[in-house]
Structure 1
Amino acid sequence: MTGINALFLLVGLLLFISVLASTISARLGLPLLLLFLGVGMLAGEDGPGGIVFNDYFIATLISQLALAVILLDGGLRTRVASFRVALKPAAVLATWGVIGTAGLLGIFATWLLDVDWRLGMLLAAIVGSTDAAAVFALLRNSGVKLNERVQATLEIESGANDPMAILLVVALVEMLLHPEKASAAGVAWMLVSQMGLGALIGLIAGWVLSRLMARLSLAEGLYALLILSGGLLIFAATNLLNGSGFLAVYLAGVVVGNRRSHATEHVLRVMDGLAWLSQAVMFVVLGLLVSPTNMLAHAWEAMAMAVFLTLVARPIAVAIGLWPFNYKRNELAYVSWVGLRGAVPVTLAIFPVMMGVPDSDLLFNVAFAVVLLSLLVQGATVPVAARWLKVDVPPRPEPVDMREVWVGDKAALDLLEYRVEAGSRAEGRHPDDVAAEAGGISVRCVALVRRGKLQRMGLNTRMLPGDSLWLVAPDEVSGEIARLFTSSGDELTANASFFGEFVVDPSALAGDLALTYGLSLEDDELRMSVRDMMRRRLGRPAVVGDRLVAGAFVLTVREMGPGGVIAAVGLKCPSLAAPRRD
């Protein structure tokens, strides 16, 4: 029992330290995942902890289990609407992007390390795919709001590119160990089965899980266990059938997350904690596995590989892959830069070690060093690069918190929390007056919280800065309500700077707009609506923040409606502000 309790103590201590380390990650500007890795490395054989851990099988088992949970959680939070703008380009990056990146990097690695070309290509294939755990964690916790096209492209790519990376690694290992058995037909069939079965099983199983959630009546805590256990079943079963379990569990999460039911909110909250636990455990274990002294022995090779990967191989692959989709140069640059590497490359690097590939220790140490550099340099600059490359959009006013209260199998009330800011239109007013202005009879005030205590409301109650108001309101008007609680001066300044000083009805005739403001348009554009004119010029599905120049004026997509329809357009005048460079 002493040994078991010592193990529990060790595991609990490492996780405890990792969670405490998260409090300083924002201050240091370092990705939290990097701190988890650091805790594992410090606890390892070369660190103060002195723990000797070299069980590659256990590390692979933990990593794959954790990645399945992380991908399931990422799918649950991916909106189907994002597929409208990024499915095709992300699919290209998930296939061609991995092949192109690995091919260019493989040539460089073969020359740099002076090894067999198959070994150089294997190393490139290991680090050729982006990592879902790193991308989901860093993009969603970076504090910056990206335009939907860029964020969706990165997230869908990272969730779907593992099959191609696994295919390349397995094929190259087979070529190194059994060159007489390797064939193009076998590789092609592996690709079809990995991608095809993964997608098919994921979609079907996701639909089954979503139906079960809607129909079963369980204790609240069991819904998350149902989704978690179902996700692991999907992951394992797909792998046993020679499909991609990673792709299947991600798509299953997408299907479940986009079919709201009475258990959705509770599942998301529980899965958020499980995803963080999975990331912490996985990166701490991988940190324990690596030997910093061995890794430092190949530091300069890893540095050269990381620089070539980041500045040459991935940018070329991204530029070629996204060329047909009319991405702007700043968007291409950001997608290239945020090609984050994380747990997947390290997990793939373990595979050649377990299979006995010659020089596999070299592959593992170089791949791990590349991951560290990626997290340290690229991961730490995610928000800075977004602002510098101008792919961010102003954050929209939103509720502080949102809860769902289900009153039937298919009926739910949205309970929204708003905080009163100084200088907002809500300050000094009665809660019911604000509710009436926000949405009439469809919006109702249910609670006023002041200094953490529930406030009894009377006829003379007036809201003060810092108060929290809870409203029952339809989700579609949540943004409009939020504007009543936001300091109007700050919002107007930010919106005018980005979107322009005037709001244009997208259904208005472009010719009338040109006549009024003197916009420079083509003759055939004068008879189009502003919406159709912008859609034609953009040549791609529009997202908030898309802009086009009409003479000295700038038109910017301000709001998107249901079905991907442009709902509002901002107009920036040349005399008041210079157009923002893209």
Structure 2
Amino acid sequence: MEGTRSFALAVLVVALAGMAAVLSNRLSERTRIPAPAFFLVAAAVAVETVPAVRELSMDVVQQVVTVALVMLLFQGGMDIGWRRFRPEAGAVLWIGVVGTFLTAGLIAVAAHLLLGLGWLAALLLGTALSPTDPAVVFSVLGRREIVGRTGVLLPGESGANDPVGIALMAGLLGTSVGSALDRAGHTALVFAGEMAIGTVMGVAGGWVLKMFLRKVPLPAEGLYPLRTLAGVFALYGLTTVLHGSGFLAVFVCGVLLGDVRAPYKKEIERFHTALGSLGEIVAFAMLGLTVPLWTFTAEGAWTDGLLLAVLVAFVVRPVVMAALLWRMRLRAGERVFLAFTGLKGAVPILLGSYIVSAGVADAERLYDVVFVVVAFSVIVQGSLVPTVARLCQVPMRSVRLEPWALGVRLRDRPEGVVRYTVEAGSAADGRAVGELDIGEDTWVSLVVREGGLVPVSGSTRLRAGDEVLLLTGEDTEHCAGQFTTG
């Protein structure tokens, strides 16, 4: 019985820690400090106060965080969806891929000149710090949702540059011998292979999962989200075994499934949203457990990290984004906002742990610097995001919680029923229902505004943010053009 009590005590501690992590989101709303900062700092403090935690191996942390990132990337892809992603695909790839290389290169130059690191160590540090984390941004924005192109570019960039950064790190750590030219060639081959295989597998996996969702019924509602979850991890595992980027594959798969109409789709989305929140908590908490705070003062990680953090946030990121965004049709305020919100998160720390596991010279110092940069980015930079958004006049809308739902269960798929959200600046924004160009065989059957039902008539004037349910026999792409700006 003593073993049972010990296990129960461990369950109690974990449960209380999880409850505290969930409730910290309320504190985040008040302080505007992203909730992941609390997870990260609390875990780092736990390492100081609970000696047993220090025995957690880096391999275990990497494996747990990898599982969390798979859930986060898939859920992030589903949130974007193919309909929103398609018109911005070129811009997202341009920023996510080219931007990652430019950021890694500039950070490497700064680390070499300012911190005295060798070129390989500096490039590894630059690669670790190149990916961004929009989950931190959206955590501090709370219930405000970015609309327009910025709302797609920001999460799309992170979904693309996380796999890019991981693949680039894999290429660099796999080149330990040969000339600099040989190393560069090997890194390029590994990177290109991972990206190509990851993309192809993501498209194929998305198609297979879509067919499963639509064509293969299951005997119970609760099995549908579990099938999707199993499919996502199977896709990650198979892609990685084939030497592709499993992270890119699950992100692409999520994007392709985001707008798919399928049985129990809402239940699947809610399930993966909850898993994404859990993944965020687990990733930051586990990574925080790997950082012994007492080593920072002795090794100078605080000063090196803060110097590099300021440089990355206020010099490197703005320079890279200015170079990449100058031809895009964005307002000056949106450009500034995108340049400022390149926040660092779980992926840079995970990449730093890869450096430690690879046994690179001065790896512990590099890892500590990465942690300080991420902590600065999340706590200091993250707390300023709402203020910068307001000053830049970035278009947003408040998203109120809607704990009550009104739904109708049907045995067969409802043909000709589509739902759209009226985007700001679209043809439907500010126009009466009777004035919409949606065809004679299409009816607006339901309008939801700010969580409440709106009586529908020909004179009902729509607003940005309204959810509109249509019964249509027309081309849905034509109808979509009335409610979106893409």
- TM-score category by the smaller chain? 0.7 to 0.9
**2:384 partner SS:** helix
How far off is 1:85 after superposition?
A: 4.0
Partner of 1:293: 294
Distance 2:484 2:311 in 1: 42
Matched, 1:269 2:239: no
Q: Check conservation: 1:404, 1:412, Cα contact below 8 A.
A: no
Letter in 2 for 1:52: R
Query: 2:167 corresponds to which letter in structure 1?
Result: L
CA drift of 1:255 comes to 1.8
Deviation at 1:156, TM superposition (A): 0.8
1:333 counterpart residue number? 336
For residue 221 of structure 2, what is the amino acid of its counterpart?
E
Alignment of 1:360-439 (within 5 A): 360-394=363-397, 402=405, 404-411=407-414
In the other structure, the counterpart of 2:111 is 109
| CA separation of 1:389 and 1:6: change in aligned 2, threshold 3 A | same
Q: Report what 1:161 is aligned to.
A: 161
Rounded to whole Å, the distance in 2 between the matches of 1:310 and 1:475 is 48
Q: CA deviation at 1:342?
A: 0.6
Change over 3 Å in CA distance of 1:398–1:17 after alignment to 2? closer
Q: Deviations over 1:27-66 (max 9, x none)?
A: 222211111212212322x247873244100000000000
TM-score (norm 2): 0.82
Decide whether aligned partners of structure 1 residues 179 and 307 sit closer, same or farther in structure 2, where only a CA change above 3 A counts: farther
Deviation at 1:251, TM superposition (A): 1.3
The verdict on how the C-alpha distance between 1:205 and 1:356 changes in structure 2, with shifts beyond 3 A counting, is same
Shift of 1:112: 1.4
- Secondary structure, aligned partner of 2:327: helix
Contact 1:14 1:39 (C-alpha < 8 Å) held by counterparts:
no
Match of 2:88 in 1: 86
Whether 1:26 and 2:29 are equivalent positions in the alignment is yes
Find the residue that maps to 1:340 and give its secondary structure. coil
What is the CA–CA distance in structure 1 between the aligned matches of 2:51 and 2:407, rounded to whole Å?
45
1:478 and 2:448 aligned: yes
Higher relative contact order (CA 8 A, sep 6+): 2
Matches within 5 A, 1:62-461: 62-131=64-133, 133-135=135-137, 137-138=138-139, 142-175=142-175, 177-180=176-179, 182-218=182-218, 219-296=220-297, 297-394=300-397, 402=405, 404-411=407-414
- Structure 1 distance, partners of 2:97, 2:417, is 40
Conserved 8 A contact 2:198-2:246: yes
Deviation of 1:222 after TM superposition, in Å, equals: 0.8
CA distance in 2, matches of 1:256, 1:375: 30
Q: Distance in 1 between matches of 2:152 and 2:362?
A: 38
Contact 1:96 1:317 in 2 (8 A): no
How many Å apart are 1:184 and its aligned residue? 3.5
Distance verdict in 2 for CA 1:415–1:195, change over 3 Å? closer
Question: Is 1:57–2:56 an aligned residue pair?
Answer: no
Structure with more helix by fraction = 2
8 Å CA contact 1:163–1:191 kept in 2: the answer is no
Which residue number in structure 2 is paired with residue 503 of structure 1? none
Query: What is the match of residue 438 of structure 2?
Result: none
Per the TM alignment, residue 217 of structure 1 is displaced from its structure 2 partner at its CA by: 2.3
CA deviations over 1:247-286 (Å, ceiling 9, x no partner): 1101111222211112101111111221111211221111
Q: 1:326 to 1:12 in 2, by over 3 A?
A: same
| Aligned-pair CA distance for 1:395 | 5.0
Q: Could you say what secondary structure the match of 2:411 adopts?
A: coil
Flag the 1:250–1:400 CA change in 2: closer, same or farther, 3 A: same
Change (3 A) 1:480 1:378: closer
* Equivalenced residues, count: 441
Deviations 1:412-443 (A, max 9, x none): 89999xxxxxxxxxxxxxxxxxxxx999xxxx
- Give the conservation status (yes or no) of the 8 Å contact 1:123–1:367: yes
Change (3 A) 1:34 1:93: same
Quote the offset at 1:407 in angstroms: 1.2
Measure the CA separation in 2 of the matches of 1:224 and 1:251.
Answer: 18
**Following TM superposition, by how much is the alpha carbon of 1:393 offset from its aligned partner in structure 2, in angstroms?**
3.9
Alpha-carbon distance in structure 2 between the residues aligned to 1:36 and 1:269: 23
Local SS of the residue matching 1:478: strand
1:232 offset after TM fit, Å? 0.5
Per the normalisation by structure 1, the TM-score is 0.69
- In the other structure, the counterpart of 2:429 is none
Give me the whole-angstrom Cα distance separating, in 1, the residues matched to 2:71 and 2:340: 26
Quote the RMSD (CA, aligned, Å): 3.3
Instruction: Output the CA distance in 2 between the equivalents of 1:481 and 1:348.
Output: 41
